[in-house]
Amino acid sequence: MERKDLLDIESLAVEEIHEILNTAAPFKEIFTRSVKRVPSLRGKTVVNVFFEPSTRTRTSFELAAKRLSADVVNISTDRSSLVKGESLVDTFDTLLAMKADLFVMRHSSAGAPHFIAERIPVPVLNAGDGAHSHPTQALLDAFTIREHHGRLEGLEVAIIGDITFSRVARSNIWALTKLGAKVRVSGPATLLPKGLERMGVTICRTVEEAIEGADVVYMLRIQKERQGSHLFPTIREYYQLFGLNAERLKLAKPDAIVMHPGPINRGVEISDDIADGPQSRIHDQVTNGVAVRMAVLFLLATQQKKPSLDEALAATE
């Protein structure tokens, strides 16, 4: 993989996606060691700049960088000089002057990481920009599906919920279709964006139609914070029409898995028994997120002088 930044899935070649997933697999092995750390990014400084709330993504990036022995600094909006009126570019210039080697950035505006990436010389990793993109989420989801089903090619994946405001849905549609899976979507008509078919997905009128025969059932959170009013039925009605419960899951293939990017809203998009049930891979997604982010950090931060993967995995501190 020879690129400065990871900003979205659309610009990734299929070979690059495979390289990331194939690099993540041996990194995941490290989690079974008593010392879960390799020295491949020793001496590098990773700065997580989060302008939007996050629990799992920020922690996951932090752990990934630490397991590669990088130094990690976390910055969130409420405690940074942005509240004092400093511009985005000045904030990054300041952090660059302290010799940051790589930025992980989350922002509520689509395109903000692209804007910064064009202006600074070090890698920028998009950890979610508005409703646009969340590339590492799609990569960890592809990894999780491949881990269970052994492949992505030819699989039927149902993505259900608020598609319009979901960067997770958008990135997953790009990744899954590039990797040869077939994607169907279902959700309230007000939350299905125009032109979705052009992304190569099938729109299903009912949630049952979407789940029927699926290999993966992917539930989305309702992105209330991005929606205006009037787009969403009541929670009770939403759950009745689109929520995943045992009866609906029976329509999927017997070995189908259930996924969700988190945070989950129990009783809104998914029932308790399904979220915690045997087909759920929600915790695997979280575990795999660290491995996939290690892979991406490793591939981006070692562009100039890339050690072999064997070297990177060998020496445990």
Residues acting as catalytic residues: 56-57, 84, 106, 134
End-to-end CA distance of the chain: 26
Q: Does 135 bind ligand NCD (CB under 6 A)?
A: no
Q: Does 280 bind ligand NCD (CB under 6 A)?
A: no
Q: What is the largest CA-CA distance in the chain?
A: 57
Q: Which of 44, 67, 132, 167 binds ligand NCD (CB under 6 A)?
A: 167
Number of residues that bind ligand NCD (CB under 6 A): 11
Minimum CB separation of residue 295 from ligand NCD in Å reads 17
Minimum CB separation of residue 131 from ligand NCD in Å reads 9
Q: Does 221 bind ligand NCD (CB under 6 A)?
A: yes
Minimum CB separation of residue 15 from ligand NCD in Å reads 26
Q: Does 168 bind ligand NCD (CB under 6 A)?
A: yes
Asked if residue 185 lies in contact with residue 202, where contact means CB atoms within 8 angstroms, the answer is yes
Pick the closest to residue 37 from 70, 73, 72, 2 (CA basis): 70
From residue 57 to residue 76, what is the string marking binding to ligand NCD with x (rule CB under 6 A)?
Answer: x-------------------
Q: Which of 56, 66, 148, 253 binds ligand NCD (CB under 6 A)?
A: 56
Residue nearest to ligand NCD (CB): 221
Phi, psi of 32 (to 5 degrees): -90, -10
Binders of ligand NCD among residues 250 to 269 (CB under 6 A) are: 261-262
Nearer to ligand NCD, 39 or 262 (CB): 262
Nearer to ligand NCD, 45 or 171 (CB): 171
Q: Which of 114, 132, 134, 146 binds ligand NCD (CB under 6 A)?
A: 134
Pick the closest to residue 101 from 59, 37, 48 (CA basis): 48
Contacting positions for ligand NCD (CB under 6 A) = 56-57, 128, 134, 137, 167-168, 221, 223, 261-262
